């Protein structure tokens, strides 16, 4: 069996981290099994769906490295839905309804006031049909047996169809609700695994009957616990900015992938530089039932950790020309984002004006300026320089290293000076040490 998964967003907005997580898990599952990952654009709502969002979804998936093996759009498949709908109608599994929303609301309140579940009450077969009213359509649930499946994350699931309302599948104007087209497509595309948020669990119960009514075996389901932000819900910032905002903040796509792959699972979040080890290890049995907590600070920290061992060639096209492999290796432990690398160019090549040294530090700098010209810059100049200054002034430890670091880099902290100094030209270094 070839594993086929799909990501099925509605193009009525930009992707946020919650959608991306679902897309990621579907993609990982397909890749783990050498299967296929499809993008299905759920654009049955022609009014709210926008082309710019479709393009944004494609761009975001590409940025994240979630390559797709095919794309379908529901708006191009109405003829198929019509044909399948006719089959269900002929089989009596969908039926016309004429109630107004107001009538339904009144019935609901009456049932609730009697302490009964507010389940839709079917009309008798011989109920009068109002004239001149276009019907909407419901799927007739088979109430004969419980609906059961073993969810890959939630385990055994059990629904009593008698406690469920026959779901509306088509509006009076002929437009489709989400439930039925999704099932028709999952069948047509041979979807084997549906990975989605647990807010869809009760939809799944109805959809399992739709698969069977259309003569298909339902796929496997994995319903993941929802993603929440540090304050209980996903922050507005991430909701509204989405991937573009993260990209602008310097978040690497692999950092987001690394975090979202493992968040809410019993596997640790690790600073990987490729998705391969995450794909190998994905296992829905290790996904938790509690909401997964998404923390922007955790993402920023993970991003930083990943940069620490990101190879030069992976980022070279995004670096200033002046930052070559050795310079990248020297500065990467100190970067929060790749863009910050540009701040190091003047430290290497100037223009750079060292801070005015404290009076107490001047002897160290003077000794360094005197010793530097004679040093071989190709042979560990930092250790030679500090040894010479120590011999000349008796300074050691912080009193030796800090004035030199400050004069040479303008900062109190930063990369290992032994690695950094050979990457600054000797003339630049001497000029910085020679305060006036």
Binders of ligand GLU among residues 198 to 217 (CB under 6 A) are: 200
CB of 75 vs ligand GLU, minimal distance in Å: 13
Closest CB to ligand GLU among 30 and 421?
30
Residue 42 sits in the site that holds ligand GLU (CB under 6 A): yes
For residues 10 and 434, which CB has a smaller minimum distance to ligand GLU in the complex? 10
Q: Please, which residue, 178 or 382, has the CB nearer to ligand GLU?
A: 178
State in angstroms the smallest separation of the CB of 238 from ligand GLU. Answer: 17
- Distance in Å, CB of 306 to ligand GLU, minimum: 29
Q: Minimal distance in Å, beta carbon 340 to ligand GLU?
A: 36
Side-chain-facing half-sphere of 149: CA atoms under 13 Å: 24
Stretch that binds ligand GLU, among 5-13, 112-120, 142-150, 400-408 (CB under 6 A): 5-13
Q: Between residue 149 and residue 178, which ones bind ligand GLU under the rule CB under 6 A?
A: 178
Pick 182 or 303: Cβ nearer ligand GLU: 182
Shortest Cβ 41–ligand GLU spacing (Å): 9
Q: Is 267 helix (H, G, I), strand (E, B) or coil?
A: coil
Residue 406 CA to residue 402 CA, distance in Å, equals 6
Contacts of 130 (CB under 8 A, 6+ apart): 98
Up-side HSE of residue 167: CA atoms within 13 Å toward CB?
16
Q: What distance in Å separates the CA atoms of residue 134 and residue 369, rounded to the nearest whole number? A: 91
Residue 335: closest CA among 309, 354, 307: 307
The continuous run of DSSP H or E covering 181 comes out as helix 179-188
End-to-end CA distance of the chain: 76
Task: Please state, in angstroms and rounded to a whole number, the distance separating the CA atoms of residues 402 and 412.
Answer: 7
143 binds ligand GLU (CB under 6 A): no
SS3 per residue for 224-253 = ECCEEECCCCCCHHHHHHHHHHHHHCCCCH
Whether the CB-CB separation of 195 and 165 falls below 8 Å is answered with no
Note whether 182 binds ligand GLU by CB under 6 A.
yes
Question: Under a CB-based contact definition with an 8 Å cutoff, are residues 379 and 385 in contact?
Answer: no
Output Rg (C-alpha) for the chain, integer angstroms.
31
* Stretch touching ligand GLU by CB under 6 A, among 8-16, 99-107, 272-280, 337-345: 8-16
* Residue 10 lies near ligand GLU (rule: CB under 6 A): yes
Nearer to ligand GLU, 193 or 332 (CB): 193
d(CA 281, CA 285): 11
CB of 176 to ligand GLU, least distance (A): 12
> From the CB of 194, what's the least distance to ligand GLU, in Å?
6
**3, 4, 5, 9: residue in contact with ligand GLU (rule CB under 6 A):** 9
Size of the site for ligand GLU (CB under 6 A): 8
Question: In angstroms, what is the minimal distance from the CB of 16 to ligand GLU?
Answer: 12
Torsion of CA 59, 62, 66, 69, to 10 degrees: 90
Structural contact between residues 254 and 269, judged by C-beta atoms closer than 8 angstroms:
no
The reply to whether 236 sits in an annotated binding site is: yes
CB nearer to ligand GLU: give 4 or 323.
4
As beta bridge partners, residue 287 has 265
Q: Which of 4, 8, 164, 372 binds ligand GLU (CB under 6 A)?
A: 8
Part of the chain binding ligand GLU (CB under 6 A), chosen from 4-12, 107-115, 116-124, 319-327: 4-12
What token pair was written down for 127? 């109920």
DSSP state of 282: -
User: Which region, judged by CB under 6 A, interacts with ligand GLU, from 2-10, 309-317, 326-334, 418-426?
Assistant: 2-10
Instruction: Report the interface residues with ligand GLU, using CB under 6 A.
Output: 8-10, 42, 178, 182, 196, 200
Binding residues: 236
Binding-site members for ATP are 236
């Amino acid at each position: 069996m070839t594993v086929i998964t799909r990501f099925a967003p509605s193009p009525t907005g930009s992707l946020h981290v919650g959608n991306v997580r679902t897309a990621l898990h579907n993609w990982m599952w397909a890749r783990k099994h050498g299967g296929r990952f499809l993008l299905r654009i759920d654009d049955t709502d022609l009014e709210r769906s926008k082309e710019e969002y479709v393009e944004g979804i494609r761009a975001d998936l590409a940025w994240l490295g979630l390559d797709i093996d095919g794309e379908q759009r529901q708006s191009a498949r109405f003829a198929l839905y019509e044909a399948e709908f006719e089959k269900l109608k002929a089989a009596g599994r969908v039926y016309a309804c004429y109630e107004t929303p107001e009538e339904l609301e009144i019935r609901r309140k009456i049932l609730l006031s009697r302490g009964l579940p507010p389940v839709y009450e079917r009309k008798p077969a011989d109920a009068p049909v109002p004239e001149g009213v276009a019907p909407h359509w419901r799927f007739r649930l088979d109430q004969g047996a419980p609906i059961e499946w073993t969810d890959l994350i939630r385990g055994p699931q059990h629904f009593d169809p008698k406690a469920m309302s026959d779901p509306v599948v088509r509006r009076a104007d002929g437009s489709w609700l989400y439930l039925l087209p999704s099932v028709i497509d999952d069948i047509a595309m041979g979807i084997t695994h549906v990975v989605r948020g647990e807010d869809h669990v009760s939809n799944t119960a109805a959809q399992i009957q739709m698969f069977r009514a259309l003569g298909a075996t339902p796929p496997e389901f994995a319903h993941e616990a929802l993603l929440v932000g540090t304050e209980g819900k996903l922050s507005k910032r991430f909701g509204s900015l989405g991937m573009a905002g993260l990209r602008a903040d310097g978040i690497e796509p692999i950092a987001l992938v690394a975090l979202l792959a493992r968040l809410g699972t019993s596997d640790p979040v690790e600073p990987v530089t490729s998705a391969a080890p995450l794909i190998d290890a994905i296992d829905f049995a290790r996904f938790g039932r509690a909401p997964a907590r998404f923390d922007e600070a955790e993402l920023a920290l993970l991003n930083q950790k990943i940069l620490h061992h990101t190879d030069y060639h992976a980022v070279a096209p995004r670096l200033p020309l002046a930052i070559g492999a050795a310079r990248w290796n020297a500065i990467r432990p100190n970067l929060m984002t790749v863009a910050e690398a540009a701040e190091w160019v003047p430290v290497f090549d100037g223009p750079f004006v060292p801070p005015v040294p404290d009076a107490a530090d001047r002897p160290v700098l003077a000794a360094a300026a005197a010793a530097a010209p004679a040093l071989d810059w190709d042979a560990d100049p930092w250790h030679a320089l500090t040894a010479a200054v120590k011999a000349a002034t008796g300074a050691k430890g912080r009193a030796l290293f800090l004035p030199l670091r400050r004069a040479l880099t303008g900062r109190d902290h930063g990369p290992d000076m032994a690695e950094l100094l050979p990457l600054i030209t000797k003339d630049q270094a001497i000029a910085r040490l020679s305060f006036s």
